[in-house]
Structure 1
Amino acid sequence: MKNLISLTIVAILLFSTVKLFGQDMKEKSFTPEEKNAMQLQMKDNFKPGDIGFESSVVVNKPKKEGTTRATITSKRNGYWEYSSTWDGGVVPGPDDDVIINHYVSILGSYSGVSCNNITINSGKTLNLYGEFLFVFGNVTNNGIIDGDFAYPSSNPVYFSTLYFAGNSNQTFANNGSVSTFLYVLSLDNTNTVTVTGNTFPVFRMNLFYGTLTTNGKITTGLGDSSASVIQIGVPNSSGRAGVINGILNYNIGTGGHYVLYSESNQAITMGVEIPSTNSVYYALFGNPNNVTMTRDLTITGDAEFLEGTLNAGNYTLTINGTINNLGYESYTGLLNGNGSTNLSFGGTPRDTLPTLTGSFNNVNIGNNKEVDIKNGNGTVPINSTLSVNSNGKLNIGANNTVTVSGTITGSGTVNGGSQSNLVISGNGPQATIPAVTNGLNSLTINRSNGAKLSGNLTVASNITLTSGDLDLNGKTITLGSTGTLMETGGRLKGSTGTITTTRTLNAPSGQNIGGLGVSITSSQNLGTTVITRGHTRRGNGTNLGIERYYDIYPANNSGLNATVVFKYNALELAGLSEDRLTMFKSTDGGNNWVEVEGVLNMPNKTITVSGVNGFSVWTPASKDSPLPVEMKSFTSSISGRDVKLFWTTSMEINNSGFEVQRTEAGKDNWQKIGFVKGMNNSNSLTDYSFTDSKLEKGTFQYRLKQIDFNGNFEIFNLANEVTVNGPSKFNLSQNYPNPFNPTTKIDFELPQDSKVNITVYDMLGKVVKVLENGSRQSGYYTISFDGSSLPSGIYIYKLTAESNGNTNTIVKKMTLVK
């Protein structure tokens, strides 16, 4: 890793006697053309915009021989490297003290220049001109240091640098000015560099080694669109990273503040390189011996975890940009929490976190933020709250386990996978498990107050209820084909919701399928079998089973001769007497039920049923409160204006009978039209019928209200509507009753609108009474005839109907007996 970084960065600091492209930089000056060619070769490794790269120490910087050789004073304006600039014609070196009495500029040989002590006198200038000044002694500036030059100006690679390289304490007395700022201030001194005098701005500080005592005289940042940069430590460090003693002034512009924690032979503790706002734009963590936070830290831009560990301690780390965005081939950096650490991730880029170690207090995923836990990270304990906010997403990742000991909040999504695990633990209130896309490998509940689902969930492997219950809360758990529900210290429950699994059962032998609590033994191959368990009380009316049922549907569902063991929990009895439990089954999805005798084993909480030839819906219920009537069929037929209803029951318990009800189709105006007495108790097929006679033209619906002797009832609806059509021909019915005394009724039918006359005659043809004389619409009609005033005998009644120019006549006889 560091070899890559060093190769990438060293271009900014290739100086001194380093041979570059076959040339010795100390002895060779370069033309502008040569500089441009060198820049083209270097810029692939370093660009000024890449200020997040680490700077390296100058390995082959000038070296002192141990004693000061001379004091050399400038004698005219000129370049440092020219002997004509100095008294005595000698160019100063690392053992020489220097006095600047003129305007002296460094030529720009890419080798830098050096001295022991240096004094810039009042009114005089030292122009660093994009080069390095290596100082082994003290700097006294009574004039001007021109430090804001970079070369080339259009795409700079080289920056004016004041480089403290001594082996003992050094001072920088800035009694004059730095114009307009110093590009780079570097400390390569394991001792102390003390700054006094006037305050000056610095673009970048490299604290490779030693202590910088600022006395509040340094302002980092230029307050414009550029950035401010502080580097602590250095790649391939051989000692303790530099530290800042005192305070810094901050003038951070829109370019933001960058902090780079490079290598040190010991842990680096955060200091005043972090502004009092606790906010930086960019942070790089590259110390293999770790970085320790001493305050909250907000990174508004990017964070790079190159190597080593960031120990976040009792603080909050907020990252609102991207993580590990520089594109190195491998990052090995870690982020460690101590149980009180809070993490917050904002912004919109999708980020993969560094490897997380230790444990964390709160973890917050912001709105629209997607965060990946690195595959293979392992266990990530969250001691308090995991918040996944609106449209946010936490990707657990492969071979990872997220353990939440507090609450899970927010409307965002937790994304799992077949190798992702979730553990709900701790002593907090009931936890809500958010919607989990792509399912989980395993789910563990180890919390006395349990958890509840807020979305459907797929679990490939195991659901372990170590402590506390899991409330389905109306949702569905799909258990994988090899998964198991293990209710060791808690139970699955919920008035609504189900857990389902699909298995291939070929000649099963006592398998507790998926741990759902139903074991099947059969010599037959059931094939693909869907087993669903729910905790809704099933039944009819007020007679309900316990809080558990099974819905079992194998591909082969006949001739199984299976023995089935159904398990239950004492907490599911819902007030029923355990010693009266038996099994009930329904073959129509739970509408009707029939009792199936089973063997109850109260100590083991099981009911065993033998000779099961086909599966359906099953629930344990009480023999004392049976689930009443199983309706086998309910049909209808029509004859003219009469509707006949037929129904068959296969089992009746405590059945008083059936109230027959009718309404016009589409209306909820049910009227009782009859009652048919039931069989009370029956285990065999019973057929019933009822005729609804002499209906008018129209469409009708029918239903049966089955009522038991306790007043409980259940409704069975006829599946189809019944339509009574109008008459197809003229018809006059036989009177009824006949013979009669003294009244009788006569029906007649008109297929068309007609002028109708119905008259009664005696046997001599004399008119006795006109019953109908007028216009009638098509339809069915009934009229009455009262013979109270007539003697006994035979009478004639005649229908005459005129319609569309045709006359229809029908004559019948009736007998009056007194």
Structure 2
Amino acid sequence: MKFNKLFLCLCVGFAFTVETLHAQTCTTIANGDWSDASTWSCTGGVRNPPVGTWNGVELIINHDIYIGNNDVINMSFSSTMSKLTITSGSTLVFRSNSQLRLPSGSQVVLEEGAEIYAANNSRSTLIEIGGNGVWGRDCEAEGCTNGVLTGPGTMDENSNPNDPLPVDLLFFDANLIGNNVQLRWATTSEYNNSHFIIEKAGANLQFSEAGRIEGVGDSDVLLNYSFTDRSPISGVSYYRLVQVDLDGSTEISRTVAIHSSFINAGVKIFPNPSVGGSISLEYYHPEVNSLKVTYMDATGRVVYKEEVTEPIGSRVELGKDINLEKGLYEVHILLDNLVYVKRLLVN
């Protein structure tokens, strides 16, 4: 089993930035030419069509898209792009002498039934990531060909297209739940997977074991895992997974970072418990310009959202029109770029 090697920071201080970046996408809306702006719909003010030094994060192909004759889509200098996803039943076709160049650290993800293929393409490498040829007749990997690629699978700059392209670690993230850090990850395939070791570190980046979760050996279905660290390091802490094969070989995942020092401090909601109506939020941060609040029930379902964009004082009334049922809720509060999580009991 092999992890894709990326670094991801989920610091609370950057939560607003992360949310904004995820909105910076281009998604196909019709079959057609990659270089034609009418093929794409882009959000977050990113460039359309996605070519050159593109300023978005993710591309999503939901149709049959081609790169035209002699067309080189060179996005290798983009500093923001992280992923190209080709969804189930969609195709990306390379016509004569065409090529796609992506930046280092990015991935090409093929969902089940997605395809990439060449139509009389004479180039030696058709897809390059970080300057490394990962698909084409003469790319760097031994035995490399320009044969049809069929999902599910992923490619990064270290991929060997001669392999069956397993999609291994789908995601790995960290979230603050009360005073605990909850780690979640998922795999879409596993081969000889013995177990996962969860490691954590403080600012010195000296990792130590925080726990273990057993793997399933071999699997070709989606598997979800979680681990709760009930004694997180104050301030910035870092987490990573060490995946251990049955033969003892290991792979290390991307690293996630999270800041816990502000959680459950600096904000207060009341009354708590409540009767299901409006609550007041009080906080101790000057010059707050934006506020977003999300209520989630015990199943994780979003039951209410509210946003305030004009400058606000240190207290605001929320949920004037809601009537929550009895139960325990999580209230996720985003003040400018700081995130807080509070629990609300409704009697």
What TM-score results when the alignment is normalised by the length of structure 1?
Answer: 0.16
Give me the TM-score of the superposition, normalised by structure 2: 0.35
* Greater gyration radius: 1
- Structure number with the bigger relative contact order (C-alpha 8 A, sep ≥ 6) is 2
